[in-house]
Structure 1
Amino acid sequence: MAALFARDLRLAVKVGGGAPMGVLFFLVVVALMPFSIGPDLPLLARIGPAVLWIGALLATLLGLDRMFQADRDDGSLDVLLAGDQPLELVVLVKGLAHWVATSLPLVVAAPFMGLLLNMSGLAIGAVTATLLVGTPSLTLIGMIGAALTVSLRRGGVLIAILVLPLTVPTLVFGVGAVLGAVTDPAPFLSPFLVLCALTLVAFVVGPIAAAAALRQSQG
């Protein structure tokens, strides 16, 4: 499992692996927002959490189509399916490698992007915490779409169609927690705990559903 994690991490950060493109996309989306809104700094501060969350969501979706398709193309997927390790565990390790390569850099970059959006220190801390907790859920949900479309060429658009409706609760509670941290009397802890619960549910359901989809695709 450690070797699989290291292999997927190396492939993800290579040119064309999807991870660098996702980070660059996130930076471009956030950097262009002040130019499209104009010099209204209070408005930027209000919409900043939603902008960061939507940018992170779209950046996470960019590299999902290669999570299993590259393994299918070179025959590695057949080896993983026939291996001794449970396929659910294999899928979970691949999802964690994708999160470390694609989403963790977005969490690190979020405080700097928050400054660009005129967000307060409290809002920046809250959005960083919610992204750290919530982005694994986005990856694990997206992993299901990647497994369902593994046999399709250029299934990125189909993955987005399948995955985006399922990510709405994570997006809602992530943005709601940040707004609760900076707006009285809206609470922060309640939506943040729901966000944690959604991620825990994704840790259980995501690998099981993705493994079942991979078995069906090879059946």
Structure 2
Amino acid sequence: MIALLRRDLVLAVRAGGGFGLGLAFFLVLSVLVPFGVGPEADVLARIAPGILWIGALLSCLLSLDRIFALDFEDGSLDLLATAPVPLEGVAVVKALAHWLTTGLPLTLLAPGLGVLLNLPPAGFGWLVISLAVGTPALSLIGAFGAALTVGLKRGGLLLSLLVLPLYVPTLIFGAQVATQGAAGLEVGTPLVLLAGISAGTLALMPFAAAAALRINLR
């Protein structure tokens, strides 16, 4: 499992599997928003948490199709399916590698981009917390979507259509945590719900992804 995780991390960095692309997209989106909505500080402060969360979500989406695609193309996925390691464990490792190369860098970069969007000082900590709690769910759901479309050529659009509706609850509660935290309001309820979504996806999505992989490998 550790060797598989290390291999995926090396491949993600060397092959550019979303590691740089996602960060670049996140940066570009944050830079362009002030040009689109205007430089008014109050407007930017109000929309900053939602914009940053949408940017993180779309950045994660860019690299989802590569979670299993490279292994499927070179035959490694067939070997993993017959290895002593269960496919559920493989799905968890793949999702973890995706989060470490996409979700975690986005979480660390978000406060710096929050400055560009005039995010209130009180919101920086809650933004990081919300992304740290919520982005694992994006990677786990994405692993399930990638498993469903792994055998399809040019399945990126279908993958996006499959996972975007599943991303909506995470986006809602994640942005709500950051928004209410920036306004100095209570964030307990949306934070608990966001953590519950991540815990639920961790409990369910590896089994769903493994079942989808078994169907596609038949």
Structures share a fold, TM > 0.5?
yes
Q: How many angstroms apart in 2 are the aligned matches of 1:81 and 1:110?
A: 37
Identify the residue that residue 29 of structure 1 maps to in structure 2: 29
Q: Is the 8 A contact 2:123 2:183 kept in 1?
A: no
Kindly indicate whether the alpha-carbon contact (under 8 Å) linking 1:91 and 1:211 is maintained by their aligned counterparts in 2.
Answer: yes
- 2: CA distance between counterparts of 1:158 and 1:205? 21
Give yes or no for contact 2:45–2:117 (8 Å, CA) kept in 1. Answer: yes
Percentage of pairs with the same residue: 50
Which residue in the other structure is 2:86 paired with? Answer: 86
Question: Residues 65 and 154 of structure 1 are in contact (CA less than 8 Å); yes or no, is this contact kept in structure 2?
Answer: no
Trace 1:32-181 onto structure 2 (pairs within 5 A).
32-181=32-181
Map Cα deviations across residues 57-110 of structure 1 (whole Å, 9 max, x no partner): 000011111111110100100000000011101110111011000111100100
CA deviation digits over 1:155-193, x for unaligned, max 9? 111111000000111100111112222336x52011001
Aligned to 1:218: 217
Taking only aligned residues, the RMSD between alpha carbons, in angstroms, comes to 1.0
Count of aligned positions:
218
What is the SS of the residue equivalent to 1:121?
Answer: coil
Instruction: Give the TM-score normalised by structure 2.
Output: 0.97
Q: Kindly indicate whether the alpha-carbon contact (under 8 Å) linking 1:23 and 1:59 is maintained by their aligned counterparts in 2.
A: yes
Unaligned runs of 5+ in 1: none
Distance 1:139 1:60 in 2: 7
Given the two structures, how large is their TM-score scaled by the length of structure 1? 0.97
For 1:39 and 1:121, how far apart are their aligned partners in 2?
A: 18
Cα distance in 2 for partners of 1:23, 1:11 equals 17
1:154 positional shift: 1.7
State the shift of 1:37 in Å: 1.2
Segments ≥4 residues shifted beyond 3 Å: none
TM superposition shift of 1:13: 1.2
Q: Name the amino acid aligned to 1:89.
A: G
> Distance between the aligned counterparts of 1:201 and 1:104, measured in 2?
20
Supply the distance in 2 between the matched residues of 1:192 and 1:43 (Cα, whole angstroms): 24
Distance, in Å, in 2 between the alignment partners of 1:131 and 1:162 is 22
User: Equivalent residue of 1:17, what SS?
Assistant: coil
